Structure 1
């Protein structure tokens, strides 16, 4: 499984890493080296039974919200936040400041995909869930998590796209082997972006219209959809459609706002952002029998941080380029300020913008609320306003990096 996915993503990224601008230099080799389980984890729960896996808790671990460590001690039950080692950007990079929205976007989004607000917290339930998540982080993810294989035609197609001599007819003969891919290509060229006078049903003509960059984006979307949209238990069934929708919008926002960053790498990083989140929800299905439970703000923060950690750990296993892994790692946060890389900074902003867009679309936020745009520059605010209209495969005006 690991070799299959690694080969696929090597082809997806063009084998050798596509050159990026000097402002997006690759991070030091140590940035993508797998960390020890303790430092990579974004959450830690000490087990309450002797049979459970023992996990050391830092001496400075904070008390559980709502309890008094002195008057009501719980020596065998401690919930602590363990943050990943702070990621560092490339040396001499411009200091980037992360956007902090005026509204609690992350909390509102989490409540929405859960289907209900937490309304307090149930410490025992939270502990069971977070303990399971931490054990997952400490495991071999390829053995612990079922990740769908990519369609067999996809690696062949991506390899063909690197050839300058392959014809549209040959590409069409490869695409026709996968019915899902055929549908995506035809639907894309008949979308509002291309707005043909008559509907295009010829696959060869559709391939010619899309071009190399358009085809790569279509293929990436098809490859990621089964990974993100996994219907399992009740929590995943409720959240998965929203998570996939947000993933698409995040990828589009990354692609649209990419400056001095390879736009296709930015697009894939946006799609990759929520892989860990959907896995965390699948684990939630396995560990929580009730349809809903009370959860605290601290649980939501740790759950999201663990999900981000899972995303970057999986990206490491799939042998994504170092700067993509670093960008994903930075989304897990930490106790110290993050020295943002350009791609990590872009992903942070695009993730929040896409969440806001979905919350507005589903009447969870008012589109006329001026607080939504506080702190956004004109391009970012315009992206938020037009995100539903920005087409997934619109590469107009984007300077493409040469394919190796």
Structure 2
């Protein structure tokens, strides 16, 4: 799989990729139009009992401060809001959609820890500006979803790209393009488009390694937030640091965030605790 063939193959493969449950796609698309009633939202979720049960478990996690108080999907929607519940649905559905063969050399626990950390950081950073925190969380959670596609369908090629990145000191995306002709941000953007997510989420995922300014030359858009959140999430990795995270971030985005070092360190401390709660809820 090399050159342009990679893009052609992946385009054809989109039809075979896991579909999100109807409740997730319909709630997401209706929220885009802002025409979904609470009653209809509850009805959609309850048509998938397994999805509803997993969503309730996550809604009752310490992360939301409502442990034991949410007994039904109607309670979740009423107490958390439609957009927050949509984020929970997407989280649960994404975990269910990708089942990676255990024999594949893919570190799933590390992947999900980084995905959750990026989502949680994106939500926190969005609250500092004028962006939707729940949308930022979902986008952060899905930013590396292209890696799941590669692990599921092209594990050998993905493994070679990782080896190339390590051998030549390349960014993962650069190694993927060099060895396969396509990168996980491109694949992720194709997938969320296939799942009918909004264009700005598609663009944010496509550009999370190489963000671009808005048409007005600003860096306060969703793509910039995801880029910053991913960089900061790496500070929570073993051996990671705030200094290294800031160095990996596009300088104008760090300036736009206007975070002091103390603020950033406190944020990372809070996210580390939330990450433990979130991971426990997803694995229990």
TM-score, normalization: structure 1? 0.50
The residue that corresponds to 1:389 in the other structure is 273
SS at match of 1:138: helix
Gaps of 5+ in 1: 1-130, 393-404
Classify 1:180/1:351 alpha carbon distance in 2 versus 1 (closer, same or farther; 3 Å): farther
Q: Which residues in structure 2 correspond to 1:186-197 (within 5 Å)? A: 186-196=56-66
Q: CA deviation at 1:256?
A: 1.3
The residue that corresponds to 2:114 in the other structure is 246
The residue that corresponds to 1:323 in the other structure is 200
Q: Is the 8 A contact 1:172 1:207 kept in 2?
A: yes
2:155 counterpart of 1:271: no
The residue that corresponds to 2:186 in the other structure is 309
**Which is greater in Rg?**
1
Q: CA deviation at 1:287?
A: 4.6
> Aligned pairs, how many?
249
Report Cα offsets for 1:66-124 as digits up to 9, x if no partner: xxxxxxxxxxxxxxxxxxxxxxxxxxxxxxxxxxxxxxxxxxxxxxxxxxxxxxxxxxx
The whole-number CA distance in structure 2 between the counterparts of 1:289 and 1:207 is 41
The whole-number CA distance in structure 1 between the counterparts of 2:133 and 2:158 is 39
The residue that corresponds to 1:185 in the other structure is 55
Classify 1:248/1:134 alpha carbon distance in 2 versus 1 (closer, same or farther; 3 Å): farther
Q: Compare relative contact order (CA 8 Å, sep 6+) and give the higher one, 1 or 2.
A: 1
Report Cα offsets for 1:320-345 as digits up to 9, x if no partner: 44433332332354xxx954753222
Q: Is the 8 A contact 2:38 2:82 kept in 1?
A: no
Larger % of helix: which?
2
Q: Is the 8 A contact 2:115 2:144 kept in 1?
A: yes
The residue that corresponds to 1:365 in the other structure is 239
The whole-number CA distance in structure 1 between the counterparts of 2:246 and 2:26 is 45
TM-score, normalization: structure 2? 0.68
Give the CA RMSD over aligned residues.
3.9
Q: Is the 8 A contact 2:208 2:224 kept in 1?
A: no
2:239 counterpart of 1:349: no
Q: CA deviation at 1:270?
A: 1.3
Q: Is the 8 A contact 2:20 2:195 kept in 1?
A: no
The residue that corresponds to 1:234 in the other structure is 103
